[in-house]
Structure 1
Amino acid sequence: MSQTMLESYIEKMVRQAVTSSLSNQLVTNEKIKPIVVANWKMNMNLDSISEFVYDFSKTNVPVDVVICPPAPYLYVLNGWQIKLNALFSIGAQNVHSESKGAFTGDVSAEQLVDVGCEYVIIGHSERRAIGETNSFIHQKVKHALNTGLIPILCVGESEEERKQQKTNVVVEEQILSALQNIQDISRVIIAYEPVWAIGTGQSAAPEQAQEVHHFIRSVLSKHFGVTAGRTPILYGGSAKPENAKEFSAMADINGLLVGGASLKAGDFSKIIQAFC
C-alpha cells in the first residue's frame, strides 16, 4: 500500500470513528419526556373508574400519562377525562391488524380512534402467551401507525430464557420482527417487561432493567439511527410506588408500564411523581 493510499485509509477510518462517536452521543444524550402508562388489564368498573378519575384530576402531572382500561370502558373513560379535565391520554390494551371484518371479539384501530384513543399496547406477554406471534404483532404495529395510534410495543424474556442467557437474543428478535420494514419509528414506544416479573411482585433490579434498556437503545440505534435517541423505553414488571424512584434514576428508563399499582389513583400518582 502506497503512502498516499495509507493516509487516505487512515483519514477514512478517523472520519468513520468521529461520525460513530457523534451518532452515539445523539442517541444517549437525547432528552426524553417521561411516560407513565397504566394497564388496568381486566379490572375496574364504572364506579371505580369515576372515583379514580375524580381523585386523579387533583394530581399534579408533570409527565405524559396514559391510561389503558378494559375495552368496554374506553368511551366512558374518555367522557370522564373530558368532564374533569384530567391530565392523561387514553390507550387501549389490544388491537386487531385489520380495519374491519369477521373478527368476533376484536376491535380495530379505527374504532379505538373513534372513542378517543391515542395509544395502544401491542405484544403484551399475556397476549403472546395465548398465541400472538411476532408476525401478527408486526401487522398490528404497522396498522396502528397507519391509523394514527401510538403503539406501545412490549418485549421481554421468560424466566427460562433469562436463565439460559437469551434475554438479548429474544428481545432483539421481538423488536426487529415487530418493526420490520417500518422506516419511521419516531411514534413508537418500547416497553421492556420481563415475563418473570409481571404480576409476581418480583421486579427486575433497576440495574438489571437498565442493562436491557441500554441494549434495546443500541439495537434501535443500529437499525434506525439517531431516531433511537428519541424513542421512549419503559419498564414494566411489578412496578410500584416503593421502587419507582429507583427505576427513574436509570439513564435509559424513560417511564413505566404499570399494572396492579395503577388501579388506585393515590398509588399511581406516587409513581408518576417519581419521574418529576
Structure 2
Amino acid sequence: MEQSIENYIKNLVRDVIGQTLGGLQSQRDRQTYVIANWKMNKNLAETAEFFQQINSSKDVSVVVCPPTQLLYPAHLFIKQSGKPIGLGGQNVHWAEKGAYTGETSINMLKDVGCDYCIIGHSERRQYAGEDDQLINKKASLAIQAGITPIICIGETLEEKNSMQTEHVLSTQLIGALKEIDSHNFILAYEPVWAIGTGQSATAELAQQTHAYIRSVLTKLIGDKAEGISILYGGSANESNAAEYSAMPDIDGVLVGGASLNAKSFDAIINVFAKGDQNQ
C-alpha cells in the first residue's frame, strides 16, 4: 500500500509540466483572500479597536480568525461596523458533539457567525499531533456544515533541505482531500520553516510551489482545480505582499503576526485589491 502511494506521488511529480511565469494566466476567476490568523493573541478591548480601525475592499475577501473566546464578540463588532468581513475559527473538532473537554464543535462555530475555519495549520500538526487523516475528517465535517475549510499544507526546513517538498505537499493534499467531492475549500501553502521566523519564501519560489500544488490538485479533481484559491502563508507582511500579489497562482495570503496590527493588515488588503484591479 505504501509503495503504491509512493509510486503515485512520484508520478505526480514527474507529470508536473515546468511552467514559466510569463506563460501562466493570471488568477482567472479565482477569488482573492486576505485572511488574518491571530493565533493566541488579543483581548476583548483590542478586538473592538481592531474592527474599528480595519477597512475592507470589494475586490478582496477579507476574513479574520480570532481565538475561540473572541469569536462571538468579533461577530458582533463586524456586524456593528457594517464592513464585509468574514469570520473564521482557528480549529474545530472532528466530532459534532460529545465529551471532548476544551474543544469546539462545528455547530458552535456556526452559532457564533463563522463561515470559515482554518484546518491543519502546522502548529496544530506540531503541538496537537494532527495527521492527514484527522485533517480530512475535519475538512469533510466543515464542508458538510456549510463552513469553508482553509486547509493548510507545508514542509519543514528539514524536509525542504532534503528535497522532500513535493512529496510532503502531495501526501498532505491527497490525505486532506480523500473522498471529499465538494470543491468548497481554500488551500494555504504555509512552509513551516517560514512561519513566525521572519523568513519567507521568495515570490518566485512560492509561485513555483503553488503551481505544483495546483497541478497535483488537477490530478485529484480535474479542471475544477483552476477555480480553487491557493493562499501563501509564512511571514507574509506588508513589505512582501506586492511581490506575492503579482504571482498568477498566489490567490491571496494567510497572515499571522502582521494581521495583529490593523494598519499593517489594511496595507496588505490594499495591495491585493490593487492587484485584482490591474488584472
Residue 221 to residue 207, structure 1, CA distance change in 2 (3 Å): same
Identity %: 48
- Checking the alignment, whether the CA contact within 8 Å between 1:27 and 1:229 is kept in structure 2 is no
Q: Which residue of 2 aligns with 1:125?
A: 122
Aligned to 2:161, which of 151, 156, 163?
163
Larger Rg: 1
- Equivalent AA in structure 1 for residue 146 of structure 2: G
| 1:30 to partner: Cα distance | 3.0
Tell me, what secondary structure is at the counterpart of 2:239?
helix
Q: In the alignment, is residue 200 of structure 1 matched against residue 179 of structure 2? A: no
Q: In the alignment, is residue 38 of structure 1 matched against residue 61 of structure 2? A: no
| 1:87 to partner: Cα distance | 2.1
Tell me, what secondary structure is at the counterpart of 1:242?
coil
Counterpart-to-counterpart distance in 2, 1:26 and 1:240: 25
- Equivalent AA in structure 2 for residue 51 of structure 1: E
Counterpart-to-counterpart distance in 2, 1:94 and 1:158: 21
Aligned to 1:90, which of 87, 90, 106?
87
Q: Which residue of 2 aligns with 1:10?
A: none
- Equivalent AA in structure 2 for residue 116 of structure 1: G
Q: Which residue of 2 aligns with 1:189?
A: 186
- Checking the alignment, whether the CA contact within 8 Å between 1:27 and 1:226 is kept in structure 2 is no
Gaps of 5+ in 1: 1-24
Counterpart-to-counterpart distance in 2, 1:135 and 1:208: 28
Q: In the alignment, is residue 232 of structure 1 matched against residue 220 of structure 2? A: no
| 1:62 to partner: Cα distance | 2.7
TM-score between both structures, scaled by the size of structure 1: 0.88
| 1:184 to partner: Cα distance | 2.1
| 1:33 to partner: Cα distance | 2.3
- The CA deviation string for residues 50-101 of structure 1, in whole angstroms up to 9 with x for no partner, is 11100114x5453001000000000000001001112210000000111000
- The CA deviation string for residues 152-202 of structure 1, in whole angstroms up to 9 with x for no partner, is 0000000000001110110010011010011222x1100000000000000
What is the RMSD of the two structures over their aligned residues, measured on CA atoms? 1.6
Q: Which residue of 1 aligns with 2:267?
A: 270
Q: Which residue of 1 aligns with 2:171?
A: 173
Tell me, what secondary structure is at the counterpart of 2:35?
strand
Tell me, what secondary structure is at the counterpart of 1:274?
helix
- Equivalent AA in structure 1 for residue 264 of structure 2: D
| 1:264 to partner: Cα distance | 1.2
- Equivalent AA in structure 2 for residue 33 of structure 1: Q
Counterpart-to-counterpart distance in 2, 1:128 and 1:206: 25
Tell me, what secondary structure is at the counterpart of 1:228?
helix
Gaps of 5+ in 2: 1-22, 274-279
- Checking the alignment, whether the CA contact within 8 Å between 1:27 and 1:230 is kept in structure 2 is no
5 Å-filtered alignment, 1:73-152, equals 73-130=70-127, 131-152=129-150
Q: Which residue of 2 aligns with 1:71?
A: 68
Counterpart-to-counterpart distance in 2, 1:28 and 1:263: 29
- Equivalent AA in structure 2 for residue 114 of structure 1: D
TM-score between both structures, scaled by the size of structure 2: 0.87
- Equivalent AA in structure 2 for residue 150 of structure 1: T
- Checking the alignment, whether the CA contact within 8 Å between 1:28 and 1:229 is kept in structure 2 is no
